[in-house]
Structure 1
Amino acid sequence: MAAATAQPTFHRSRLVIALALLAALMAQDTTALSPRARAMLPQFPPPRGVDVSVVTRFSTDTAWIGEQVELVTATWFRRELRDRLRRLPSLRAPSLSGLWSVQSQSIPVVVAARVVDGAIYDLFISHQTLFPLGAGRIVAPPATLSFSVPASSSYFAPENRRAVSSRPVTLMVRGIPASMTGALDGGPTARAMQLTWSTPSEGLRVGVPTLVELVLTGEGNVTLWPAPGVAWPPGVRVYPERTDERPTATAGRLGGEKRFRYTVVADSAGVVTLPPVRYAYFDPSAVRVQVMTAGAVGLPVLAGPAAPSRDALAVQGGMAVPVATRIIDQAWWLIILLALLPLLGLAWRPRRPQPVAVHHPADPEVELRRLLKTPVEAGPERVAGALRRRGVRRDDAEAVGGWLGGLIRRRYGIVPEAETIPVPGVLPKVMELLRRMFVVVLLFPLAVGAQGESAVTRYRAGDFAGAMREFEALARQVPQSGEAWRNVGAARAMSGDDVGAAAAWLRAFALVPRDPILREAWRQETLVPADVRALAPTVPASRDELLLLALVAWIVAMWAVRGRHRNAAVAAGALLLGCLAVVLLRFGQGMPGRALIRPGAQLRVSPHPSAPVLGDIAAWSLATLQRGGTGWWLIEAPDGRRGWIGDASLAAIDPVAR
């Protein structure tokens, strides 16, 4: 009778436990888990006879180069043991090389719970989405779970460290068949790709820059999709623009859209036919090379608008940083030492010659990326653009970009490993130029010219909007270049943004106040209000130049005091105090962060376009930047009001970190 009574009680307890597990799982947030990783859950059955188990698996045993693969680490943890832990366990996922990691769930999530022999086990999952970059055998090292178990229920009881590791797993990566590499022509590994032209419905106008796009969509690693080759027709000037990527995921399979943008300027009226563009890719599902073509598109070219009434402002290429600014930034320690020498009475002593380090030749690609400061994932187009911005000729930059493209194709298995990629003859010359620039930057050199050649060309051709984008990119790259901000101001003024032009010129004045081109542009801009013109410095010296002049005055004053030259000491002391006073005044003016307000700006309660409006702000108002968010700034208006404003509604004068 007792046994008969215990049996229903046992089943009822099992039912209660099952209902509790169901409620717990319904409350879990498993939306972060990829559907492809979730489909692998049946491959991880709960353990028996152990408290903790760790298992790692690839979503497939074999894959093609560039094909998406999931690496899932599953941890079964007995709940009774986990509840006893004082600290959360730590999981070290496998660290792999030779694969491109696009997406990962680094923090394990609970996705299931099971009852095994009367004990509850929770399943924790972490996963990585990977793309193999080369053919061969890839071994994922063990994943390790570390945790500490208290020796007893007492709070002061010691803890016993434990670690559980998974077994290593292997992925075999197959290279693209040699019979297909010729037809592939450097294309990516992807699925269901489409390529189309995106053009303006109104066509083109003579001399007016117009944006056209090649839109590439499909499934795969969007970042690794190379740019298609386009044979542009005669009679147009083409300027490549920034590439836009929009990754998406469908049922856990990554893909998306990549837009290759070009600014096209037609030279004469008529019809311009955008050529058909061929694009090949390897489809791992069909194990064949698929070729798609964007059809030719004819665009009418209408007569251009009348020439603008105002003359174009002068611009010059270059991104020179003033010598004084370089000294202050790079050799501040030397300035402090020189300032202390008169007080400490230090004497120069001969120094022993330092041993010269022997330079061992490095990998050309690694050395090139180190000098350019570009990441390893930067494509050939980005590297070629970085070379152009550093003054390298277009032909040399394109040759280096083509060489990098060959290396990437071989690394991804599109070119056989045995085939060597010859180093272009211009590479040593380019590397030597970059090394000289690198050393010169460390030693606060003179100006580096020819940085904005492409932007200047577009500006002089009348493409003021395109030149403005390039000048702004150069100014962001070297924010201490007065010439860069001067050119930004000229391009903004010719594009109709007078407020932005004034802000850029005021920033340039702080760096190169005696620049003749800058002063002439400032004089010609008659729309700037008088209160904004008053912000330009009256003393024709930058803050860094005044600091160096104050240092010289300090050294001369101390020398004069020691030599009992009273008049010289008084004159040097007065110069020192005057320089320091101007420096402190300018530092105080720019400390809060100032910005000019563009027309149509509105203050909002919060950083969102749908947030309530606090009121309008008059154009040309001088606002103070408080703090920044993504695309928004919290500002204080001249009348004391505080609120949020979009980036496009203001033009910053002083550099302020968000």
Structure 2
Amino acid sequence: GAQAPPAAAACEAFVVTVTISAHGHVAPVVSPPSFAPFQLIRRTSRPVVSLTPAGDPSIRVEHRYVLTTERTGSFTLPPFVAELSGVVARTRPLRIEVQSTPSAAVPRIIARAPIDVDRAVNFHAAATPDTVYVGEQVQYEVAVFLSEAVRERMRRSPTFFPPDIPGMLAYELPAARGEPPRRQAAGRCFDALVYQRALFPLQAGRTVIPPAQLTYALPLGPGIFSREENHELRTASVAVVALDPPENGRPDGYLGAVGNLAVESHVDSPHGRAGDPVTLTVRVAGEGNIKLLPRPRLQLPWASVVAHGERVTVDSTSTRVRGTKEFDWLVTPRVSGRVVLPPVEYPHFNPDSRRYVLARSDPLQLEVEAAPLARMDTLATVARLTLRPTYRGPLGAPLHAHPGIWVLALAAPVPAIVGAARRRRRSRQAVLVSVAQQLEVLGDDHSPREVRRRFVAALANRLRLDAGVFTRAGAVERSLRRSGVTRPLAAEAERFLRVLDAAAYGRDDRLAGADPAARTARRLYAAIDSEALERWELGPVVSGGAVLVLSVAVASGALATPAMDRAEFDRASHLYETSSFVEAAGRFERLALREPQAPDAWANFGTAAWAAADTAAAVVGWQRALRLETGATDMRLRLAALKFERAGSPGAVPSVGVTPLAAAALALWLLAWMAAAAAPARGSPLRAIAIAGTAAAIMLATFGVVVDERLKAGDLVVIRHGTSLSRSPAISARRDARVETGEVARAGGREGGWTHVRLDGERSGWIPASELVSIARAARRAD
């Protein structure tokens, strides 16, 4: 008998089953009819031999035919024919209704992508819509269309490599379940494999999405062990244009939220007590880029309000990304009685309706009881850290930052260099004397050539020049002038040498004139020797004055200390004592940013932020204060009290500062060069002390550079809120290690709005950059 489904969809595969039974061990031969307009995808047979109750063998064969067609309508399959030993059997005809492929839940790229039927594999990408507002969702789809022939030949699925998309936040969307959808084109059917991402532009402008890549392999022959040939395809680039939400109609208080959103709020308890905080939670839910929704603004005249925490839940199981984001505040009433929490307003731009919407929560009522006096007194003292009472202003620049220190370090080798030059000069005296003696013993009867040779040699030794320099006209006069010889004497020596040249290399080797050449040479050399200066004596005479001027400048700079703003410091301290922690922290922070080298401002900023329940800001303040004063015991103890601040963590602060190391290095450097200046000879013990001191000074200076880089904390950041690190820069990526609020991490590379961080315990991963605050040295900021 034959069986088939009464209805099928175009381009969808269906199965026709033919079952034949016969006596004996031999299976009947089945002749299938023409399957037109259907195409045969594959055929399988499964024979089963069994024994009848009488003990006779019988065989039963099930044939399965997988068919498909791109045509629609009602079609009839003719009977299947089976033959065994001259006996023929036929099945009944099968009628099948082929309907159009259902279009529900089919990605748009399947219907819109152009198909080249001459290609066995088509690969396309699309982004819809191609023009959106910043924060509006873009559907990015990549589809590979496989012809039936290729699909049958493939031994494994193709490999897809998605592109890196800069400037956009990406969510992976789920793949379609069940059989892949099919596309019909020019009478041929193609299986479609679709990859989908939800993208959210982070800034206005045109973004080009790079091509996606696909690799697949096809066997070269029909055999199971035949070699495979690899193929690679790329899609075209896709462009998306992001626009800022319109200025027209933008409400006051708009913070950049985009989506279709709703707001609700609740408190953890409808009853409270003055001075005791209650938790207010505002829940923003809907469609959009939920992860990056900004915190609503909240001000209550009858209570202090401190932002506390955030929680995000993202649902990307459908094609539209939606979810919820909850914001917590600690609300501390300052009055008693029935108070009203007004509706929380959340202005946002709805890209579907292209207009601004003001979402509001319902108002809430809170019954606040009056606190006993004892309780109110306790509130001002319990769990409150002490402030630094005195503002000392900004610390002076570290030792190595003073130009005078570098001048002193550069001047230290000068005595040793001068002493060595003098010793070399004394050693040269013997050479000069010997050369001068050769000039003295010249007789009046020596030839001009011999006089010239000895005179030039004496000048070259005295001036420490090469004798070949004097062969050029005017060279002797210029060299003598540079050595301090007067102009008339230099000119006379130049003329005399030219006369010697003419006599030595001319036809007549005799000199005209009354004085013999040897006597003139001796007279000129004696005059030049008395006037010429040594090289080390030719330095600028203003060197001492320059050193003096630099020293005065350094001293003046040290005296020009910025005025200390004690009044602002005292006002912030008073606010802290009256439990206005948030305002106190703000004043301390502004003072610290004006004077980044003021450790007292940073220390009190951290303490006030801690009292205001802002752990991340507290860690930043204490870290910066301790890095300015590495010996500050109060800051080191407060950081050590945090469970995640331990030795070996990225936030560990060296116990020694740069100034002691620089002072020790400078002292060793000066002592080493003093020993070098006093050393009489190379074998002296002072020479060994000088070498050892110089090496130790260089090692200390190098260590100081390393410590200074650690204290700068250029790559250190603090986690704003506890979360889990992502394996990749995407919200839907798998989460691994947990980080806590206030932990110090080392920041690495950045991609879009994400930063890669590393912490102790071999923890690393990606986190939104908005969740990090730097503790690097702050630059001075004017009011």
TM-score interval (norm. to shorter): 0.3 to 0.5
Computing the radius of gyration from Cα coordinates, the structure with the larger value is: 2
TM-score (norm 2): 0.41
